[in-house]
Amino acid sequence: MPVLAVTKERRAGETRVAVTPDAAKKLIALGFEVVVEAGAGLAASVTDADYEAAGAKLVPTAAAALDGADLVLKVRGPADDEIAMLKPGAIVVGLLNPFQDREVLTALTGRSATVFAMELVPRITRAQVMDALSSQANLAGYRAVIEAAEVYGRAMPMMMTAAGTVAAAKVFVMGAGVAGLQAIATARRLGAVVTATDVRPAAKEQVESLGAKFVAVQDEEFKAAETAAGYAKVMSDAYQAKQAELVADHIRKQDIVVTTALIPGRLAPKLVSAEHVASMKPGSVLVDLAVEQGGNVVGAKSGEIVETGGVKIVGIANLPGRIAADASALYARNLTAFVGLLIKDGALAPDFDDEILQAALVSRDGAIVHQLLKPV
Using CB under 6 A as the criterion, which residues of the chain lie in contact with ligand NAD when the complex forms?
A: 123, 128, 131, 133-134, 137, 174-180, 197-200, 202-203, 230-232, 235, 260-264, 269, 271
What is the DSSP annotation of 73-109?
A: E-SSPPPHHHHHHSPTT-EEEE---TTT-HHHHHHHH
Active site residue 123: yes
Q: Residue 42 burial by CB count (10 A; 0-12/13-18/19+): exposed, middle or buried?
A: middle
Residue 195 Cβ, how far from ligand NAD at the closest point, in Å? 13
Choice among 131, 198, 255, 288 that is catalytic: 131
Residue 295 Cβ, how far from ligand NAD at the closest point, in Å? 13
Task: Give the C-alpha separation, 27 to 35, whole Å.
Answer: 11
Task: Give the C-alpha separation, 184 to 195, whole Å.
Answer: 8
Choice among 123, 154, 188, 252 that is catalytic: 123
Choice among 11, 50, 231, 326 that is catalytic: 231
Residue 138 Cβ, how far from ligand NAD at the closest point, in Å? 9
Q: Which residue is nearest to ligand NAD (CB)?
A: 177
Task: Give the C-alpha separation, 108 to 66, whole Å.
Answer: 14
112: left (phi over 0), alpha (psi -120 to 50) or beta: left
72 in Cβ contact with 41 (< 8 Å): no
Q: Which distant-in-sequence residues (6+ apart) come within 8 Å of 76 by Cβ?
A: 9, 11, 14, 94, 95, 96, 97
22 in Cβ contact with 46 (< 8 Å): no
Q: What angle do CA 314, 318, 320 make, to 5 degrees?
A: 110
Task: Report the chain's terminal Cα–Cα distance, integer Å.
Answer: 39
- Pick the closer one to ligand NAD by CB: 78 or 320: 320
- Pick the closer one to ligand NAD by CB: 29 or 234: 234
Residue 176 Cβ, how far from ligand NAD at the closest point, in Å? 5
Active site residue 134: yes
- Pick the closer one to ligand NAD by CB: 43 or 140: 140
Indicate the pairing of strand 347-348 with strand 343-344: antiparallel
- Pick the closer one to ligand NAD by CB: 109 or 134: 134
- Pick the closer one to ligand NAD by CB: 6 or 290: 290
Phi/psi at 23 (nearest 5 deg)?
-70, -40
Q: 3-class SS at 361?
A: strand
Active site residue 131: yes
- Pick the closer one to ligand NAD by CB: 128 or 308: 128
Number of continuous H segments (helices) and E segments (strands) in the chain: 13, 19
Active site residue 135: no
Active site residue 128: yes
Residue 337 Cβ, how far from ligand NAD at the closest point, in Å? 13
Q: Which distant-in-sequence residues (6+ apart) come within 8 Å of 219 by Cβ?
A: 239, 242
Residue 141 Cβ, how far from ligand NAD at the closest point, in Å? 9
Residue 271 Cβ, how far from ligand NAD at the closest point, in Å? 6
Residue 38 Cβ, how far from ligand NAD at the closest point, in Å? 35
Nearest to 140 by CA among 95, 170, 98, 101: 95
Q: Which residues participate in catalysis according to the annotation?
A: 123, 128, 131, 134, 231
